[in-house]
Structure 1
Amino acid sequence: MLGEAARSAGYRLIVRDEVASTMEEARLALGQGDPGKLWIVARSQNAGRGRHGRQWGSPPGNLYASLLLVAPCEPVLAPQLGFLAGLALHDAAAAVTGLSAPRLALKWPNDLLIDRAKSAGLLLEGESRAGQFSVIIGLGVNIASSPQDTPYAATHLAEHAQGASVERLLVALAEAWHRRFSAWSLPGGFGPTRAAWLERAAFLGETVTLRLPEGPVSGRFHGLDPVGRLELDTAAGRRVIDAGDLFFGAQA
């Protein structure tokens, strides 16, 4: 279920029927000395999670995948891999559904939206072992179904494309990741990556609210700075934000 370009570049695939979470499986593989470039996909998870330890429902028919990368970059550059993963998700969903921006959009820092409803999310975690830095990227994509009990709108790919399937999306995703990562690895590669992400950004130029540890802050989503931090124009001036939960509107 990986395309020719991804396989030729050394990417491998393991498929499980059910796991606690694909990220934990990737962590186990890393501990056993796996060299990386490893996709782990499960048909279902019983302990999937998102950012901040939130539970991620994992019914069959959706994509649950993690990508293990061993020594992909210097640790300081690792957050940029999240933008690559988002772009790869966008590329793959566009290939499967035929949708494009602005209907298909990326919500900072880690969600894929269709008509402003969440269809996918990703989680990036770094691991340092024996002086070697590795990254695990977890991705969950609603394909056959989407949760009904969320505090935000949710959707799934099959609502927008009858032919959407785990197999089609995985092939497109692995190929898109390989292309995006290869381009990013070139000198100055984050510049084009940043520009491509902003072309697909949800709520750019609109009023948003960021939930931060010190409390919510609202302003106009201006863009990304040269290293990928969110630029927010507030009543007190421009703020540059490393991490937070973004919501549309002046309150959240």
Structure 2
Amino acid sequence: MPRLAFLLCLLLAACGRVDYDATPTGRFKGSLFVMWVGEGGSSGDGRFVYVPNPRDPLRLLRAEGSPRVIQPEMIYTDGGSIPRAGQLFRGFSPWGYAPAYMIHDWLFVARHCLTDGTPTAEERRVADMEFVESAEITAEAIKALIASGKVRENDIAPRVIAGAVAGPISYQRWTVQGECKTDRVSEADRAAAEAGIPGSAKSLRGMVRRTPDGRAVPVTPAEFVAAVTF
């Protein structure tokens, strides 16, 4: 699945150009959940899913541009894919700007599925978005987090991140083909995440899902990790 292709500008010779200071400040509304759905790959960090609150989904309200509202759908997430060495510095935690990273990663999922011709209705709303705008939106989302008081001001991290997501590695991920199917949350993980939503009817009564061959399989709710509300 797409990830934020973070390489610190000090380690990456060619960062893209996004004027972080000139980027307007967006505003977040709604809430999100992070769910753990399994061990993940060889890294051992686990497999996580971003889940919008169905009662009040996370939205980024943009100050300008089209569409004016970005509402990401359920996706796999690992926060921001920041190199281990970079995580030693303030502002470069993989989860430090998590809602902004969810916005960014969902835009890439949308681009891949638009490219492959299988977008959802929500993904079609960003069909005309250019690559550089996805990076500008990430900067706008980070500024929204700072304005909301969720994170502290930082003179370095937001500008470095804005440059990295506009760089050549990120662009390469934007233009790939054949990634939509891999990006999509599997039916099993989607069912587990929906069952793990706090207070949901599905989590209270239990649920089953149908396998491709028609068998009914009990769903074990995903482990609730965190919630963020604006």
**TM-score of the aligned structures, taking structure 2 as reference length:** 0.34
Structure 1 or 2: larger helix share? 2
**TM-score of the aligned structures, taking structure 1 as reference length:** 0.32
